Amino acid sequence: MKAVRTDRELECPGIDAGLRARGVELVTLPDGIPEADLITAVADADLILMCYTPITAHVIDAATKLKGIVKYGVGIDAIDIQAAMRRGIPVVNVPEYAEETVAEGAFTLMIALAKRLQAITAAVSRDGWIWPEQRWLGRDISGATLGLVGCGRIGRSMARMAGQGFRARVLGFDPNVDAAAMRQAGIEKIDHLRDMLRVCDFVSIHCVLNEATRGLIGRAELACMKSSAILINVSRGALIDEAALVEAVVEKRIGGVGLDVYSQEPLATLGHPMSALFGRDNVILFPHLTFFTAEAMRRLEEDTLARCFEILDGRPVTIRSLDPRLRAQTAGVVFG
């Protein structure tokens, strides 16, 4: 058996060791590998593991022995699932390993911006001390209004932290979650996104990327927000019109931004569409690492290996995701 794991920059020693212990020949490839080189590597592969690298129809068609594709993570936008389905090749992700972890990351970004943590610690590191001048004035989470764009598992975890933990008012926009379910999670359902954005002190995005949600937070939505509002995104970069976001920050039409995800990754301080956001004390740019804790990585490695072994053993692979793209599969899968 041969497995190819892309994106080796994301170190997963448990996955690599587990596959090799089962006698699997493992090839690891770097992020950004050209499609032609990837096609060569997977030509005789039984299994592809990917995190960020696109697995296109060309790649799938070239892998004549392929038994399955495992996304060691959540998002599946970079996989041509239709091409895999045409060949009866199951695609699976690991959807549950970091739900609380990513919610904690989003809350960390929010509270750090609210308390001016980045600006104040930079000033103290430079000057040794600062006095309580207006420019260092922070804000409370308690009594503020948090709006959630997406109220799935991560969004509900965020709601619990803000509502029960900090006594914030929590609003939610999610056409796929009814008011009763939101109410049970401590969230007040709002039917129209812009209506919610107008009243929020903080907005945190927690939804999947698809054709309906691409650019969901656009120029008009940003214009609805308070000039003091703080926007957090730990989901997918393309959920926001990033050019419009950069303009809103530069022109001081929004109070602050905490980002962990970007349409174009990795970031760069120069020559990147988001480069203008570097060095601003009301912006935190995190390198897509809110998921990256010891506990979450242990869960990720264990679940990934379980899915790999199901595929390599010829058993149906367990789909735990509720994503309809994965739920539409009929070959080689079982739904858990």
80 and 61 Cβ atoms separated by less than 8 Å: no
8 given a catalytic annotation: no
Give me the residues paired with residue 283 across strands: 257
Catalytic residue among 22, 214, 288, 325: 288
Task: Characterize 239-252 residue by residue with b for buried, 16 or more Cβ atoms within 10 angstroms of its Cβ, and e for exposed.
Answer: bbbbebbbebbeee
Residue 287: which residues within 8 A CB-CB, separation 6 or more? 260, 266, 267
**Tally of CB atoms within 10 A around 319:** 20
Q: Mention every residue, 6+ apart, whose C-beta is less than 8 A from residue 107.
A: 158, 161, 162
Q: SS3 of 3, please? A: strand
> Are 148 and 175 contacting, i.e. CB atoms less than 8 angstroms apart?
no
Q: Does residue 236 carry a catalytic annotation?
A: yes
Q: Which amino acid is at 179?
A: A
Our CA dihedral for 307, 311, 314, 316, rounded to 10 degrees, sits at 60
Give catalytic status of residue 25 as yes or no: no
The helix/strand/coil state of 39 is: helix
Q: Which of 156, 169, 206, 236 is catalytic?
A: 236
Q: Read off the tokens for 304.
A: 């990934």
Cα torsion through 53, 58, 61, 66, rounded to 10: -10
Q: Which of 135, 265, 298, 315 is catalytic?
A: 265
% helix, strand, coil for the chain, step of 5: 40, 15, 45
Per-residue tokens: 139: 């804000």
Q: Work out the number of other CB atoms within 10 angstroms of the CB of residue 64.
A: 10
Q: Is the dihedral of CA 231, 109, 117, 126 positive or negative?
A: negative
| Residues with a known catalytic role | 236, 265, 288
